[in-house]
Every structure is written in C-alpha cells, then in structure tokens.
Structure 1
Amino acid sequence: MISFYVLDCFDSVDKFTICRNCMRKRENICTLVSPLANHSKVLKIICTDPIELNRFLLELHYFEAYRLRILNAVYSLVDGNNKLVIKLHPVRKQPIDYKWGERANRLIWERIEVDEMISWLSTLGGAFSALGDYKLECADVAGKISIQQMKLAMRIGEPSLIARCKLYLAIAMIQRYNFAGAKQMIVQIYRNEKRQYEPDSRLLKMCLGIWAKLKYEYELYQKRLNRPKEPNRHIFLRC
C-alpha cells in the first residue's frame, strides 16, 4: 500500500492510497502545504492536467494489473518520508466530446418522439376504452394500445408511467370480465406505490378509482348471471 497526493490549481490537496485490490481517496488533506514549501521533503512533483489525471485514476480503479505495475513503480521512487505529488495545471485547450454530444442529441430527440407517441396512444386508447364498456372489440383494441404504451414506457424507464399503463390495461381487463387479473394488477401497483418514500398521490387515486369501477362491474356481472354474490368471493383492496 502506498499513497500519493494531488494538488489542484486552488491549492486543495487530495490523498490517494493504492492497495493491491482497490484505490481509496481522501479529500481536502491540508497537511501537504508546508512540505511543498520545502522541496527537499518531496521526492518528485509530476505536472499534468485534470483530464489526463482522470484517465489515470480510472485505469487505476478498474485494471488490477495496471494498478500493481504503478504500485511497484511508485515503491521504487518513494523512500522514507518522501512524498509523490501530482500537481495539476489548467487545460490549455478544452476538449469537446463530439461523439457524446451526438449521442446525447439522439437520446433527447428519441425521448421527445417517444413522449409524443405516448400522448397520441393515450388519446386513442382513451377513445377505445370509453367504447369498451359497450363493445368487447373496442376493449380488445384498448388493451393492445395499453400494451404498446407500456413498451414505450419501459423504453423510457419511468416507473410511474409504466404503472399508469398497467392500470389502463387493467381497465381493458375489467371490460373483458377478467376481474381476477385486474384485481391482482391494481393491488400490486397500489401496494408498491404505498411503500415508496414519496408516493405518487395521482397514481394512488387512479388505483382507487379503477378499483371502484372493478367492484361496480363485478356486481353488475353477478346480477347478469342471476347469481347471488358469495361472501368469500367479495373482492376488496387492502392498503
């Protein structure tokens, strides 16, 4: 195990410790200011810019073989109380990462287009969902639209949007008389959201509203069958 120090342009000193299996950092070490005034106590000062230092630290962190070679090299340089110091100077020319800029630009436009597609699907799905109370074919179409919305939401990676798409699908399942599947989906979303540190109140209200629709449609379904509702088959939402 051996240590070296990094002195930036603002005289802030960080200490890095190289071990066989890892590299540790300790920030704002101020005990090196006085030794720097006396160069006889410092074995070597290496000057570089922050970009090259960042590459060097990343390679130390991720590549064990490289870390061991640097560890042996620094051992051969340092003896006694001498210290190895890396002094940073400002970058002469700021680099521009064009490849990352193109990637970020592509991701931004992709997110804009996906949001627009989800909005269109929400409008279309809402129309078919409203007709799904009267025609089962419309309920099928609304369910397929909800699945497409869910795929787009998973592409974005927003949990709340994914949950809302599942609730849209639950409405279609209610219209198709799949009460058990809709119940399981609503309860799962409601309980998962209640466990969050900051629950989404709009999502919880959606769960309660769709749950009320589920109970109402279930009672109508039992009446259409001319069958009394059994107590042990009554469904309810447990918070």
Structure 2
Amino acid sequence: MSIQLYLHAMLRTAPQMPGSRRALNPQKVMRHLLLPFLSVLLLVLGCNRKPPKAVIPPLPSVKIEDVAAPANPMVTIARGSNLREVATTAYGHEDFSGFVAVLNGMADPERVEAGAVLKTPSLPAGMRDAGLDPAYQPAFNVLAHAWAELRTALPDYERERYAARAGDESTFAITAPLSRRLRQCADDMDAALDVLAHPKEGHKMPRSTLGKFAGASGLLRQFATGKVYSSDYDVFLAEKGFGLGFTYALIWAQSHHQ
C-alpha cells in the first residue's frame, strides 16, 4: 500500500474524540499524520546528500624542456660548502638538499667531500632519470613549472605584504595580478596532484608527496586572498613543501612507485 492510500485510510477511520461536538478537521488530521513521514523523508535525504565534488582544473601541457635547468647541471663541491648551498643555488631553496642527495645516491648528505661532483638537472629531468613512470611525467613537469613561477611570485608576495605592514593574523589588499598568479599555481598543482592520486595498477599512491604539495597549494590559496597567519613562517612552509615534495617523489620513483 502506498503512503497516500495509507494516509487516506487512516483519515477515514479516524475516530472522533470523546465528547467532541463536531467531526475532526480533515486537513488538521492529514497534517498531523504527514508530519512523521515528512520528518523521516527529510532525514533520509539529508543522510544521502553528498558534498559537492571539487572541480579539478585540467592539467596544463608542460614539457620537460619547458622547465629551465639550473645554470650548472654538474656542480663540484667547494671546500666548506654543503648540500644546502648547492640546493639553494640550483633549485632556489635549501630544502631541495634532500632531492640532490637522493638523486646522487648519497648515503650521508651531511658528509659531502670537497671535490665531489654532483648532478643538478632540472627537476622534471631528474625525476625522469630516476625511473619515473612516463604516465606521471606530465604531472611533475607541471609541479616543477609551478615552482619556477613561484620563485618570483613569492618574493613579490612578501614585498606587497611588507609594504602593507601586514602582521600575523591580518589581511592586506593584495594586487589582483599577483593574486591570480598565486591561484593559477595552486590550480595547476591540484591538477597534477589529481594525477598522482590515481596511480596505475600495481603502484602505490605517493602519500607523503601528495601531503607536502597539497599543503603548499593550500598556502598559496591563502596568500592569494591577502590573509596572513604568520609573516615569519607562511612562505617558508610553502617553499619547504616543494622541496620535501620533490624529495619524497624521487624516492617513490626510485622504489618503483611503491
């Protein structure tokens, strides 16, 4: 029996209240009977409602050669130098020192001898040479291209923030062009991360890599709004996310994506 037939049957057979001088109001009875069913219906609909899926932007087309390589693809370690200096010169941040160490098979990155010759190719070329599956190469090309863009965008962001005298837990009026640059980098990163989040059969998802890059992407979106949480650490953490993200990705590629 349908709900409507059931309700009509209930209405026809509803007894009058004892001592009542007139029949029950049919509309009130129907409303009273419908309330429990409507409550259950709303509950079911609410439970079945799913949050809207995030719209992943398309992956840009970036080739390995579109990402500039460091000025010196091979570096000879000078006396008194270290991997942090090499990483900063080659890739723009000291936290790429892990990438340099893994790429060059260094067991102890803290003990690099003077005169040692290290490879410092472009980031996507380094990933390719480490055995990265070609299916993931476009994603890392995009991530490397985003980092190249941010090497100028983040200093611009810091200059605007400083000029606005924005302190911790504050918001400043970031310029529209810079805001668009930061959002575009975040969009490109998210498109690349979506590729890595769906690995080929037999491959494991690079969770550590995803976590670092996703954290950096979130910070870029924050920067694009002019919101400042910590003027001392925000940009540092975003840069660190790239350095560690590429280091973990290199380990993932060398371990046959396990």
Structures share fold, TM-score greater than 0.5: no
Larger radius of gyration: 1
Name the structure with the higher strand share. Answer: 1
Aligning the two structures, in what range does the TM-score lie when normalised by the shorter sequence?
under 0.3
TM-score (norm 2): 0.26
TM-score (norm 1): 0.27
